[in-house]
Chains A and B, each alone.
Chain A
């Protein structure tokens, strides 16, 4: 189970994935996990992520492969939600296990920066006056530049 990449359309509990992922890699030296959730914002009633099946999952798989090679990982777990989400629901889970901690930590940072600004997702949020598409942020592109 070196690479486990999933798109989910329903809410998930990160621990249900991280436990088996960790157990599948005996002998690891470190495992690093990041979970991104829908941030609390009184004005936002709901968040929706859309994707494009022919690109989104293959793109995530290629990203995970790149991280595994670059940071010499034993494995990478990447789970991303699509559809409608409320405050507090997990959107994304990235976990990396490696012989040494540095690779695991950096790999998760690398994967998140790329998911934020290069993965094929489109986000919109529902406010009192309706739905609003979210434009990419300059900070996300600056984060990505760290890895060039």
Chain B
């Protein structure tokens, strides 16, 4: 009963790993509790978005992930 959490860009450096497993079900409060405070503060900022199973959430605070889901923490992009 786990949710896979994927860290992108500089968040992977901050987290110290590209991904981690957390217990399901996972909502916003549980995600923030599972991360260290500095990281959680970064996540709460306006610029970081969250996707669940490839769909970007309009409001990340409504996060609700179940067993087998994959969520991605997405910092601002810099491509091209």
Contact = CB atoms under 8 A, between A and B. Distances in A.
Interface of A: 36, 49-50, 52, 54-55, 58, 80, 91-92, 112, 115-124, 133-137
Interface string B37-57: 000000000000001011010
Interface in B28-80: 51, 53-54, 56, 70, 72, 74-80
A91 B78 CA distance: 13
A122 B13 contact: no
Chain B interface mostly: loop
Contact of A54 (B70, B75, B76): B70
Contacts, number: 66
Contact of B8 (A52, A80, A119, A136): A52
B78 A123 contact: yes
Given A55-B72, A133-B9, A49 B79 contact: yes
Interface size grouping (class) on chain B: 10 to 19
Contacts of A119: 77, 79-80
Interface of B: 6, 8-10, 13, 51, 53-54, 56, 70, 72, 74-80
20 contacts: A50-B9, A52-B8, A54-B53, A55-B51, A80-B79, A115-B79, A115-B80, A116-B80, A118-B77, A119-B80, A120-B77, A121-B77, A121-B80, A122-B9, A122-B78, A122-B79, A124-B9, A133-B13, A135-B78, A136-B77
A25 B9 CA distance: 38
Contacts of A120: 8, 74, 77, 79
A92 B78 CA distance: 13
A92 B80 contact: yes
A117 B77 contact: yes
A119 B72 CA distance: 15
A134 B80 CA distance: 12
